[in-house]
Amino acid sequence: AQSVAQPEDQVNVAEGNPLTVKCTYSVSGNPYLFWYVQYPNRGLQFLLKYITGDNLVKGSYGFEAEFNKSQTSFHLKKPSALVSDSALYFCAVRTINAGNNRKLIWGLGTSLAVNP
Amino acid sequence: EAQVTQNPRYLITVTGKKLTVTCSQNMNHEYMSWYRQDPGLGLRQIYYSMNVEVTDKGDVPEGYKVSRKEKRNFPLILESPSPNQTSLYFCASSGGYEQYFGPGTRLTVT
């Protein structure tokens, strides 16, 4: 079965420090990988994606993520956290063999708290 | 502004009273989808649509209906809502790889 795991329910980091939010996946075939962020009472906002090519992808708001095929991971990173980065982060995967359905398989989310 | 809109944002209703949650996108996307978000279960796909008049079931379609008569609109219909459909609902659209989400509709069925 295809799945996405976000092993940490919550991550706490001090403002200005680097942050990492972890994601591992299990799919058949090559994956398309995504990170989304959800602020309170808001919808999900797209941050970045890995489709093919360079394993390090850069996205919105200074975030980046590294695709590691051997470890089946796609960790989200940011060199210097801001208080405004505090939110709920979701990792998602879509398989290339999904046919017409662009369904995303979602992790359960990681709550990031950046402390001033 | 490119966006996906949903209405209503909040709805409290009673068991069995038919309701419709509207979804509209202004990006001319062919693909649209509905998800529900529940604690401990994450987001799960209810229905999706590849284009006008083309819809198909997702993972949790029971108790829901959809229609796609126009490209921009993809309403979610609950013919006879039940308490287990209390959830946060998101509509999404896509013209490529990433999906764009509406602000969500928080539905409570008593």
User: Does a cis peptide bond (omega within 30 degrees of 0) precede residue B8?
Assistant: yes
Inter-chain contact A104–B40, Cβ cutoff 8 Å?
no
A102 versus B108: which is more confidently predicted?
A: B108
CA of A45 vs chain B CAs: smallest distance (Å): 7
> What does the pLDDT look like over A21-80, one tens digit per residue?
999 999 888 889 999 999 987 789 999 999 988 999 999 999 999 999 999 999 999 999
Q: Cα separation of A86 and A46, whole Å?
A: 15
Q: In this predicted model, what pLDDT tens digit does every residue of B82-98 receive, in sequence order?
A: 999 999 999 999 998 89
In this structure, are strands A110-115 and A87-95 parallel, antiparallel, or unpaired? Answer: antiparallel
Do residue B48 and residue A101 have CB atoms under 8 angstroms apart?
A: yes
pLDDT for position A29: 80
The amino acid present at B42, given as its one-letter code, is G
Contacts of A98 in chain B (CB under 8 A): none
Cβ contacts below 8 Å, chain A against chain B, sum to: 55
- Nearest to A91, CA basis, from A6, A3, A2: A6
Confidence class for position A99, pLDDT limits 50, 70, 90 = low
- What tokens appear for B45 in the block? 């796909």
In a 3-state reduction of DSSP, which class is residue B37?
Answer: strand
* CA-based nearest residue in chain A for residue B33: A103
Contact flag B45-A104 (C-beta cutoff 8 Å): yes
